[in-house]
Chains A and B, each alone.
Chain A
């Protein structure tokens, strides 16, 4: 493999990796406030892309994207209010079944609305053939968009959780439910907010990747598996861990595809997921074991 080709694969890996990182972070945001693993996470990405494509028929691209993100946030809020809210003290198994049910529901509705067809947004800048030269490798400008937008999202959410009072309240819910309650924190609203935030992040990611990966009604399942792998790999609840794990998974996949038939791409992440669950269930990064009361 030449240097330029290696960079090409590396960049492709980073592109997918940032998406996985964002989906993984989406898992973490909801897990952190509620203890729920939301398997409908991938559907947020799909919805973002689909809605943006539809809105782009009547609106300029930036507005279409903003609209898609907002609409998906509303879906996130509805999911929480309709399906999650009334479940008091649900078991983990029940929550997993409920969120998988929700993801199937969203997928079927998407199939009904948008059909089987693959949809695509135009490149944000330039077009399919424009490319930037990086050390001999040719990189699509959209890749830079993906990486930049996802990096900005990661940085902003990290800052949000670290420095704002609302972010601290959400962390407090995650840290200790009873403690959060006796502080008078609005726990129910914070839980809804975590779904809204996570839906918005997924949708924005879905918009920026749409020109490269295209969007189809069923794309959420694969992404949910990748995002879940990444969240586990990074240590459930650990956002920066998810980012590192996301990039790692993206790059590993990309180089696997360079050596093996494409069909093995998804096998890799499932193998990694199983391996981590068996060998290091607390994730790659240190002893930050996910503990929840």
Chain B
């Protein structure tokens, strides 16, 4: 589905990513975890063409998209739910969803569009209730759902989520990750970037650890969750807590 080889990327004179290689297979949920400023967002932005790679290749379904405009990448079936949601704040929930369907225009017609809207409302009932509300007046969790709904309107085969849990209450975070699992079950492949490593690795099949622009570890979620270094750095457990841990 997605294969990245030796990717270098950055901004101006700043190099953020160095020789990053990852891959995502169809049907997988893959998590990328890492600290602030590690370059997680930069990686996703580079995949979708918002940042141009300096070197290396980004193969989406076998085609190199490292020089392809964002428009065409989204059209090809790779959507990003960006960090901070980036909803159209002064437009209604409904308009946000319609804009998400832009790359589907002319494909399913009116009936197709309605079916997509129904599908999204099934996944996020709150969006149907708030359809006429301005997106900027939604709560953080609702905005996250809207951003995900908007991305799903494009029928992505690969859905990339940049810190969907950021700033949300634990209960809402659980809802969001439940929905990620449902999206995956419905046939989309998911690439997830998170600082909330535990929640992310719980739903993911595999994961990568990104540290200051390079991949330092990779494995199945179970392996990473069990790994001492990952635990110490990203799961908030120190050695003492580990040894004291008896019953859960």
Contacts from A to B (Cβ < 8 Å): 165, 168-169, 171-172, 175-176, 178-187
A-B contact pairs, 14 of them (CB 8 A): A168-B91, A168-B95, A168-B99, A171-B88, A171-B91, A172-B88, A175-B89, A176-B87, A179-B150, A182-B74, A184-B70, A184-B103, A185-B99, A185-B102
Contacts of A183 in B (CB 8 A): 74, 99-100, 102-103, 150, 154
B140-175 interface with A by 8 A CB criterion: 150-151, 154
Distance (whole angstroms) from the CB of A164 to the closest CB of chain B: 11
CA distance A143 to B16 in the complex (A): 61
Taking A181-B70, A184-B154 as contacts, is the C-beta distance between A175 and B90 under 8 angstroms? yes
Contact B88 A169 (CB under 8 A): no
Contact A169 B87 (CB under 8 A): no
Distance (whole angstroms) from the CB of A55 to the closest CB of chain B: 37
Contacts of B99 in A (CB 8 A): 168-169, 172, 180, 183, 185
Interface presence of B32 (CB below 8 A)? no
Contacts of B4 in A (CB 8 A): none
Residue of B nearest to A186 (CB): B71
Distance (whole angstroms) from the CB of A186 to the closest CB of chain B: 6
CA distance A165 to B75 in the complex (A): 17
Distance (whole angstroms) from the CB of A235 to the closest CB of chain B: 12
Interface presence of B115 (CB below 8 A)? no
Contact A176 B88 (CB under 8 A): yes
Interface bracket on B: 20 to 34
CA distance A171 to B90 in the complex (A): 9
Contacts of B39 in A (CB 8 A): none
Taking A168-B95, A171-B91 as contacts, is the C-beta distance between A184 and B86 under 8 angstroms? no
Contact B71 A184 (CB under 8 A): yes
Contacts from B to A (Cβ < 8 Å): 48, 50, 70-75, 79-82, 86-91, 95, 98-100, 102-103, 105, 150-151, 154
Distance (whole angstroms) from the CB of B141 to the closest CB of chain A: 18
CA distance A33 to B71 in the complex (A): 17
Distance (whole angstroms) from the CB of A172 to the closest CB of chain B: 5
Contacts of A172 in B (CB 8 A): 88, 91, 95, 99
Residue of B nearest to A189 (CB): B71
Contact A181 B90 (CB under 8 A): no
Contact B80 A182 (CB under 8 A): yes
Taking A183-B102, A184-B154 as contacts, is the C-beta distance between A176 and B71 under 8 angstroms? no
CA distance A182 to B41 in the complex (A): 13
Contacts of B91 in A (CB 8 A): 168, 171-172, 175
Contact A178 B82 (CB under 8 A): yes
Taking A178-B50, A178-B82 as contacts, is the C-beta distance between A184 and B102 under 8 angstroms? yes
CA distance A28 to B237 in the complex (A): 54
CA distance A176 to B83 in the complex (A): 13
Apart from A176-B88, A180-B99: 15 A-B pairs, beta carbons within 8 A = A168-B99, A169-B99, A171-B88, A176-B86, A178-B86, A179-B86, A180-B88, A181-B50, A182-B70, A183-B99, A184-B70, A184-B71, A184-B74, A184-B102, A185-B102
Contact B88 A182 (CB under 8 A): no
Contacts of B103 in A (CB 8 A): 183-184
CA distance A171 to B151 in the complex (A): 18
Contacts of A178 in B (CB 8 A): 50, 82, 86
Contacts of A176 in B (CB 8 A): 86-89
Residue of A nearest to B79 (CB): A182
Contact A182 B89 (CB under 8 A): no
- Most chain B CB inside 10 Å of its own CB: which residue of A172, A175, A179: A179
Distance (whole angstroms) from the CB of A180 to the closest CB of chain B: 8
Taking A182-B79, A184-B75 as contacts, is the C-beta distance between A169 and B102 under 8 angstroms? yes
Distance (whole angstroms) from the CB of B44 to the closest CB of chain A: 10
Residue of A nearest to B160 (CB): A182
Residue of A nearest to B101 (CB): A183
Contacts of B90 in A (CB 8 A): 171, 175
- Most chain B CB inside 10 Å of its own CB: which residue of A176, A178, A187: A176
